[in-house]
Structure 1
Amino acid sequence: MKLGDYLAKELVLPVLTSESKSDVLKELIAPVGIQYPEMDTDQAVRVLFEREKLGTTGIGDGIAIPHGKLEDLENVIVIVGRSETGIEFDALDHKPCTIFFVVLAPEQVAGMHLRVLAHISRLLKDESFRRAFHEAEGSEALWGLLKSV
């Protein structure tokens, strides 16, 4: 499995400007509406908010993996964002998050959704990958790193 199979270059956001959890979820979903104009991005944001109510997806080490399922979605979509300053995300370790991987999945394909989440989790456990993620300069460098893993 390659992350690049589920990720479009336009959905890699190297500089997030939001300062709150709710704003960063909206900022991460915004480009999806351009890439997939048929998608109800308001519904996608609501699904992510509902998932956050069940428990934070801020897993620690500056990482958040918001995710949810949408009825009208045909394929898994991954959105990646990076915050230089960090965003308070109610993370398990109570530290701000700087790395965001959003996973949107079709309602009917739970297995693929879980495989993508597991792949992202494995990548982010690797300290050298996290360092490369933070050090990648600009969207081209970040895209190059992500599409290859």
Structure 2
Amino acid sequence: MRLSNLLKPENIIFHSLAATQEEVFREIAGQAEQEGITKKPKRIVKGLKEREKQSTTGFQDAIAIPHTKSKEVKQPAIIIVTTKQGVEWNSMDSRPATFFIALLIPEKEEGDTHLKILSSLSRMLMEEKNRTQLLKAPDEKALHAFLTEKVDLQKEGL
């Protein structure tokens, strides 16, 4: 599986006005509904909230990776939201987040697919130069190109 199968350029939302975690989740779920990834966006919001209660998905350097597994998700997908203002996320580095990489995984694919995508993204994000480049991407096209080049799902056996 290639990252380009999961992340479509139209699923990158630059400069969202979302100011709270709830608003970011609603933005993600609304995009998922618009793109046919789900027919029940409220269930996606609920799943993202429930996952966040388990432990923070806030990474570092203003990046968070919220994710959910749900029978309401039709196919695995990644939706990215960026905000100009920081959103309190209880991140590992205690800084607000502005860059959200959401993983939406069908319940029937939980486990392997979910963990392998998360592992590949996390490995790429461990390098400071990658985090910096990600945060400085000028537009959706550049961001999509960068991620499809840097995230290697085939290494994970997907």
Output the TM-score relative to the length of structure 1: 0.90
Contact 2:14 / 2:81 at 8 angstroms: preserved in 1? yes
Which residue of the partner structure matches residue 32 of structure 1? Answer: 32
Task: Give the whole-Å Cα distance in 1 for the aligned partners of 2:94 and 2:78.
Answer: 25
Instruction: Please state whether the residue corresponding to 1:99 is helix, strand or coil.
Output: strand
What is the root-mean-square deviation in Å for CA atoms of aligned residues? 1.7
Contact 2:32–2:38 (CA under 8 A) maintained in structure 1: no
Change (3 A) 1:29 1:72: closer
TM-score w.r.t. the length of structure 2 is: 0.85
Q: What is the alpha-carbon distance in structure 2 between the residues aligned to residue 61 and residue 97 of structure 1? A: 8
SS in structure 2 of the partner of residue 90 of structure 1: coil
User: What's the CA shift for 1:122?
Assistant: 1.0
Provide the residue aligned with 2:69 in structure 1: 69
**Conserved in 2, the CA contact under 8 Å of 1:58 and 1:90?**
yes
The structure carrying a bigger strand percent of its residues is 1
CA positional deviation for 1:72: 3.6
Aligned equivalents of 1:75, 1:129: Cα separation in 2: 27
Is 1:147 paired with 2:136?
A: no
Alignment of 1:43-62 (within 5 A): 43-62=43-62
**Shift in Å, 1:37:** 6.5
State the match for 1:122 in structure 2.
123
Output the amino acid matched with 2:122.
S
Q: Percent identity?
A: 30
SS at match of 2:22: helix
Aligned to 1:131: 132
Are residues 47 and 126 of structure 1, via their aligned partners in 2, closer, same or farther at CA, if it must alter by over 3 Å? same
Q: Is 2:11 the counterpart of 1:11?
A: yes
